[in-house]
Amino acid sequence: MTDTEPSGVPDQRRARRPDEPSTPRVEQGPRVWRIRSLEAAREVLRARHATTQAGFTAEAIPHRLRHHPILVSDGPLHDEQRSKVARFFAPMVVAKGYMGHLESVADRLLTQADPPVTVDELALHYSVEVTARIVGLTESPVPAMSRRLVSFFNQPPFDLTKPRLGRTNRQWARAALNALVPIGRFYWQDVRPAIRRRRARPADDIISHLIAEGYSNTDILIECVTYGTAGMVTTREFICMAVWHLLDNPDLLARYRAGDPRERHAILNEIIRLEPVVGHLYRRVQQPLRVHDGPDTFDLAPGDLVDVCVRAVNTDERAVGEEAYALRPGRTLPPRLDASVMSFGDGAHRCPGQPLALTETDVLLTRLLELAPWLVSRPSVSWDALIEGYRLRGLVVAWNAGRSGQGRP
């Protein structure tokens, strides 16, 4: 049975949460405001001095660090951090500086692959190796580092809208243990060797930049955890979701394979609009803030928690047009609205890695699709509390083994 949206058009999303409503557009609950309107969401995320980061357990991270992690910092410090690392993710840098590396990693992994292949494992090693090169984590084997990064997500559930994240004392103890052990392993086996190498021989990567900025080893470790997990988990899931949609939709697959880079990126942006990897963005109100949804206004008070419901915002028909739950690459959008809508955030904390994520996904997909793969099994869908997003596991594809490793013609 195919689910349909209110207009009667089939709902083409693969990751749907039955407990996640799409209305009302702006809702005040007992502990949190829920924002499902694009207009209101933009106002919240762009209110630079009126709201601060509250997602990704930002408010539970100690402020004793000399340099607060870029993902959860705010204000002038965050602006300075962003401006200095922007050069590592600029579209021109991605296109000119990283393309050869992306292509060689994708070709090598597909050459070594022995079909049938589990796509989430392939995407894991690919995304970790790409991210490691940019960050500077190049002194340890990627498969082992991949396993260490994955272990960070072995955490008990939490709820940002509840006191103490809704965890019991026992869950907090387990959370501390499950975090400290993987972080310790990651530092000794991945981060520390990279820091020692970069102190002796600086390179054009983020660790070398952080050393030059006077970051301590602890500060660098936290940033590496941030870049490593963000670069790995989000791109990994997006690659899996894109493969699933393309191999399940012959017309879309043919369009992608025949398209130029601009067309392929339009398809990828539409997939991530419909299937955002990060499903909720949280902000804490620091100053009185009035937001709008058409003629309606809502007054948010200091201390209020705001949940920008990305999946609902991305399917706001007032913004993205009719058939919001259908995959329609190239749909007409309002001026200055990104094709991915809110999938990479907005405002001061907008993800700087969008050009890299789309390009690295496109590089792997174009090479994989040249092998004429077919679906062996569709993945299971579960949910991750930290990124409020989907987790796809068990997507298996196969191709005629004789074509493996041919690379691009």
Domain CATH code at residue 179: 1.10.630.10
Whether 51 maps to a domain, the answer reads yes
* Interval 177-212: pLDDT, tens: 878 888 899 999 999 999 999 999 999 999 999 999
Please give the Cα distance from 236 to 238 (Å, whole number). Answer: 6
Angstrom distances, CA of residue 360 to CA of 106, 131, 203, 374, 393? 9, 10, 22, 21, 20
Domain count, the chain: 1
List of residues 6+ apart from 63 with CB closer than 8 A: none
Q: What is the mean pLDDT of residues 64-81?
A: 68
Range from 43-57, 236-250, 287-301, 321-335 carrying the lowest mean pLDDT: 43-57
Tokens of 210: 């952080």
CA distance 287 to 231: 32
Q: The tokens 């992608």 sit on which residue?
A: 256
Q: Which helix (H) or strand (E) holds 182?
A: helix 169-186
Q: Is residue 399 part of a domain?
A: no
What's the burial of 380, exposed, middle or buried (CB within 10 Å: 0-12/13-18/19+)? exposed
Higher local confidence (pLDDT), 317 or 53: 317
| Burial class of residue 349 in the structure, from the number of CB atoms within 10 Å of its CB (0-12 exposed, 13-18 middle, 19+ buried) | buried
Give percent above pLDDT 70 in the chain: 91
At 134, phi and psi to the nearest 5?
-70, -40
Q: DSSP label at 383?
A: E
| Separation CA 186–CA 167 (nearest Å) | 26
- In one-letter notation, the amino acid at residue 215 is Y
C-alpha 189, offset from chain centre: 25
DSSP structure string for 266-301: HHHHHHHHHS-SS-EEEEEE-S-EEEEETTEEEEE-
**Domain contains 395:** no
**16 found inside a domain:** no
Between CA 208 and CA 214 the distance in angstroms is 10
pLDDT band for 62, please (50, 70, 90 cuts).
low
pLDDT above 60 (res 5): no
Position 58 pLDDT exceeds 80: no
In a domain, 391, yes or no: no
pLDDT of 320-374, one tens digit each? 999 999 999 999 999 889 999 999 999 888 888 899 999 999 999 999 999 999 9
Q: By the 8 A CB rule, do 277 and 388 touch?
A: no
What is the overall mean pLDDT for the chain? 89
Provide the pairing of β-strand 117-118 with 51-53.
Answer: unpaired
pLDDT at 85 over 60: yes
Q: Return the structure tokens found at 213.
A: 């900025």
A 10 A CB-CB count for 123 gives 27
Residue 314, domain member (yes or no): yes
Domain hosting 307: range is 26-374
Residue type, 246: L
What pTM was computed for the model? 0.91
Q: Is residue 337 part of a domain?
A: yes
Has residue 384 been placed in a domain? no
Looking at residue 409, what is its pLDDT? 32
Report which of 403, 401, 409 is spatially closest to residue 114, judged by C-alpha positions: 401
Residues in the chain: 409
The contacts of residue 223 (CB under 8 Å, 6+ apart) are: 67, 69, 70, 206, 210, 215
